[in-house]
Amino acid sequence: MSETLTVERLTIGLPEGADRPFAVENVSLTINKGEILCVVGESGSGKSMTANALMGLLPQGVDVKSGRAMFEARDVLRLPEADKQALRGAQIAMIFQEPMTALNPLMRIGDQISEVFAAHGLYTQSERRKRALELVREVGLPDPEKIIRAYPFQLSGGQRQRAMIAMALALEPKLLIADEPTTALDVTTQAQILKLILDLRKRRGMAVMFITHDFGVVAEIADQVIVMREGKVVERGDAAAVLDNPQHEYTKRLLDAIPTGKFPEARQLSDTPALEIKNLRKTFRTGGGLFKPVREVHAVDDVSLTVARGEVLGLVGESGSGKSTLGRTAVRLVTPDGGHVMVGGVDLAALSEEELRQQRNKVQMVFQDPYASLNPRQRIMGALTDGPINRGVPKEKAQAKARELLEIVGLGADAAMRYPHEFSGGQRQRIGIARALAMEPELIIADEAVSALDVSIQAQVLDLLRDLREKLSLSILFITHDLRVAAQLCDRIAVMQKGRLVEIGRVEDIFLNPQQEYTRQLLAAVPGADWAEPEEVTA
């Protein structure tokens, strides 16, 4: 096979004062024609920097120190800017993680694709248009005639990513660099995009450099794999070999951290419910004016479920399924339109604002974004004691309790006097959990609590939650978009779609014997599904 790109001993320097001298150190890699190379690593591993260096898109202050990248017998790292520009798009194309920000919001899709031709001075106006249409058709966008006249905001996330891919393919590049192109997408959409990339590779014989943090995705599409950590390559090889027989300690850790199909042992659940949701409804109304009808979204549509004391119930669904609204309604951050939220014999949905403040402690929440969920100007101690002190717990007692909780979540009592910015994302999430526990709640709602974390950190936080569940017999409503994560922690799983509860059952039942079509679709879309759980499927 012929080599499309050969990178030799690439080293990229970081500006002074960064946490390490080199973003990428001595990285070598080869991509052959028609091959998909997955570059895997956690955040900060230098995987995106490598791609940016190839495209000449390094941020200011970061530059290539040594090494070369041979593409068509030329070193793309040393090319003058004008040549680089000619190369970008025409020979090497790139797609990004966030298709909304990568597309110009004020330009129609068709024009954006035509512009790629215009930038390289190709074809006439009408030919450009025709080719744009062909591309839109090739990437499988529905109703191509209409799509090329649409603006990016009128498209869904998956459609935007397809449009991006169409732009990238416009000039038939020999190399496609994809930087986490599916991370922002729902699982079912992700599965479609991955399939599209595989298809295109086959049809056009492109080489693809696919950057991801997800070994499931690797299992799905990779031929070759490179595992990076702190700027260095720690392992490389055939996808199958790396996945089945990892050599390096770090790769093993990453693979272990991935939720596999192994289910936690089924536990006996108690009969007393911690949370009872009955016929809950919440409708959002937007727009509406003199001549415009009101747009109604049934975010939660007549949902009933119970979480037993000491149980972890996973609430799974794609974006827009209403799972977060359900969680926020259960803590009454959102007031429902109808139904009951029974916690410890009190209907939270029916309380007045003032009564509610007295009952707030009963249900607590752990939030998704570890960076937004702590007040940057408040010490950890303050965050942990505000609530209890407000409830009338004496200050000394609340502070002692806060220190104890910080020990329990594995941070150490001296964390109390520090500010949030001194902690990493995973540590902040532990603080968030401690804050929820400080209120001595009957139920904790974890809204995508581990989604923003790297896999290995994710595994640690999940361990912590599992631990706490045993020790404190916590009841948790665990909201996530990731079925694999849910499988690791939960006793039962509830699947939501478009505001309705589709299916609810024990983890094994949902995974091995799903009753509903939608659940089956979700399961099939999980990347690496076949690789991760062969035993269970045949069992």
Contact positions toward another protein, by CB under 8 A? 15, 60-61, 331, 333, 357-358, 360-361, 363-365, 367-369, 372-378, 383, 386-387, 390-391, 432, 435, 439
Nearer to another protein, 260 or 373 (CB): 373
Nearer to another protein, 352 or 538 (CB): 352
CA-to-CA separations, 141 to 61, 77, 98, 109, 137, in angstroms, rounded = 39, 35, 18, 11, 6
Nearer to another protein, 124 or 286 (CB): 286
CA-to-CA separations, 524 to 189, 461, 491, in angstroms, rounded = 12, 26, 21
Nearer to another protein, 239 or 436 (CB): 436
What is the C-alpha separation between 181 and 203, in angstroms, rounded?
20
Q: Nearest distance from residue 369's CB to another protein, in Å?
A: 6
Q: Nearest distance from residue 489's CB to another protein, in Å?
A: 21
What is the C-alpha separation between 383 and 189, in angstroms, rounded?
38
Instruction: Give me the torsion for CA of 45, 47, 49, 50, rounded to 10°.
Output: 130
Q: Nearest distance from residue 419's CB to another protein, in Å?
A: 12
Q: What is the DSSP letter of 89?
A: T
Q: Nearest distance from residue 81's CB to another protein, in Å?
A: 19
Nearer to another protein, 26 or 319 (CB): 319
Residue 232 CB partners (closer than 8 Å, separation 6+): 25, 26, 27, 46
Q: Nearest distance from residue 475's CB to another protein, in Å?
A: 16
Nearer to another protein, 241 or 342 (CB): 342
Which residue from 439, 443, 427, 455 is spatially nearest to 528, judged by alpha carbons? 455
Q: Nearest distance from residue 351's CB to another protein, in Å?
A: 12
What is the C-alpha separation between 251 and 38, in angstroms, rounded?
14
What is the C-alpha separation between 3 and 377, in angstroms, rounded?
53
Q: Nearest distance from residue 414's CB to another protein, in Å?
A: 22
What is the C-alpha separation between 68 and 28, in angstroms, rounded?
9
Q: How many CB atoms lie within 10 A of CB 356?
A: 16
Contact criterion met (CB below 8 Å) for 221 and 191: no
Q: Nearest distance from residue 19's CB to another protein, in Å?
A: 14
Nearer to another protein, 37 or 437 (CB): 437
Q: Where are the beta strands (DSSP E) in 148-270?
A: 175-179, 207-212, 224-229, 232-238
Nearer to another protein, 113 or 363 (CB): 363
The terminus-to-terminus CA distance of the chain in angstroms comes to 40
